[in-house]
Amino acid sequence: MGKSNNLWGRLHRSHRPRFHAYGLILPAVALLVFFFFIPSLYNIELSLHKISLFETAKGRGEFVGLENFIKVTEDPAFYNALKNTVLWLTGATVVFRILLGLGLALLLNSKALKRWHLAGMGRILIFVPWGVPPVVAVTIWKWMLHSRYGVVNLTLQNLGLIRQPIFFLTDISVVWLSIILIVVWRELPFAVVSFLAGLQSIPQELYEVARIDGAGWFHELRYVTLPLLKPIITIVGFMITIWTFNNFVYVWLSTRGGPGDFTHVLGTNVYFESFVNYKVGYGATFGVIMTVIMMGFALVYFSTLFKRNITA
């Protein structure tokens, strides 16, 4: 009996750190399961049923299997929304944010602004759009881009650049440019701050060595700055791609998918089908497809990143 008690005591003492670690991560795992895993499973379950918004409190509706997914793939509106999501909402805005963010970060980190004591003011101004809630940002820009009262049209007319007002949010020739402008203005500060932090972490000795070797500004940028910023650019690009791909606020509040369904994206389709047409099951199908696309993107990204780290 004594030997068994000693054995149990030794086992308990040897596994105590492991039990302690499991106890520490258990609350975090429980939160992830409750707020992410269970809702995701429920969304998949809804996509397999034909159910309206008014039937969700009564039950799960009629089980239809993959019928909703087949219907989506046969719907031209799905491919229009997919194109808008990938090409305009995500692709264009991510590229602009990375390029403009890198340019502004280089400007704020330049010696000229520091010499003129403008770097601090510049950083404060960069943070202003980020402090504005997306709903407020869209409302402000809708007023600024208004065809009759908007400051943009009035300024262009006063400068003699246009004779007739431009219908920024209803004309299909400029509506996506207007949405891109709103998204980039509101979300650009994250890229600027991230790149600025990366620039300030680069040792100045590397630039001094490059100057000794006769390198100019362009060569410093190409052979010192960009290679060392590449990991940050990759991570920032990945994060803002996911955030933007799943976003529907900017498009829905600015155009509600119009004119017609010209600016509908996958996110607005989820909302439109679920809460406007009341087809919760069909709307959930769009959400599942978006999740699968993002999981594929994440797998490609992480596999590329891990291969690069192993090679390095």
CATH topology of domain 78-311: MetI-like fold (1.10.3720)
With cut-offs at 50, 70 and 90, classify the pLDDT of residue 309: low
- Strands 49-50 and 62-63 turn out to be antiparallel
| Residue 31, pLDDT score | 83
Q: Which residue has the tokens 């099951």?
A: 281
Extract long-range pairs of 145-149: CB within 8 Å, 24+ residues apart. Answer: 145/169, 145/178
Q: What is the pTM of this model?
A: 0.84
Question: Quick check: 99 pLDDT over 90?
Answer: yes
Q: What digits encode the pLDDT tens for the residues 261-283?
A: 999 999 999 999 888 888 989 99
Q: What digits encode the pLDDT tens for the residues 64-79?
A: 889 999 999 898 989 9
| Residue 168, pLDDT score | 94
Residue-by-residue DSSP string for 8-49? HHHHHHHHHHHHHHHHHHHHHHHHHIIIIIHHHHHHHHHHTE
Domain ranges of the chain: 2-37, 78-311
Q: Of the candidates 233, 228, 82, 250, which has an alpha carbon nearest to the alpha carbon of residue 182?
A: 250
